[in-house]
Amino acid sequence: DGYVPPPLVGIWARYPYFHNNSAPNLCSVLSAGDARPATYYAGEANDRERDYDADCGGYPTGARVPPEWKNNPEYLYDTRRPGMGNRGHDEGILSKNGVELLSGDEKRDLIEFLKTL
């Protein structure tokens, strides 16, 4: 009974994350639900350096988003739409009673480890 998640092998290449693709990269997955981006752009990955965030393992966010992605409304993913939310998945795993369990360095180390699988 319940949800059987896929194996972690190659997880760095299977972005975006969560069952509804609501987390653009592993940095977002390892953040508290209320700290995850409400929107992100998911464009075509044609340029490895520009279209993929190697540090976070997934789509680039913020200032790193390619400008042409921002001009295409089809590339915008909005987690505020019904069924597209990215909250949860953190209590008891990444946080306890609202306090994060992993430091920034530990999160970066975990992402680097996941890249080796």
What pLDDT, in 10s, does the model give residues 6-53? 888 998 889 999 989 999 999 999 998 889 999 999 999 899 899 999
Whether the pLDDT of residue 3 is over 90: the answer is: no
Give the model's pLDDT for residue 85. Answer: 92
pLDDT over 90 percentage in the chain: 69
Give the model's pLDDT for residue 38.
Answer: 96
What pLDDT score does 112 carry?
Answer: 96
Q: What is the CA radius of gyration of the chain?
A: 14
The answer on pLDDT for 89 being more than 90 is: no
Give Cβ neighbours of residue 86 (< 8 Å, ≥ 6 apart): 18, 20, 22, 23, 28, 33, 36, 37, 79
Tens digits of per-residue pLDDT, 42-63? 999 899 899 999 999 999 999 9
| 39 DSSP β-pair partners | 78
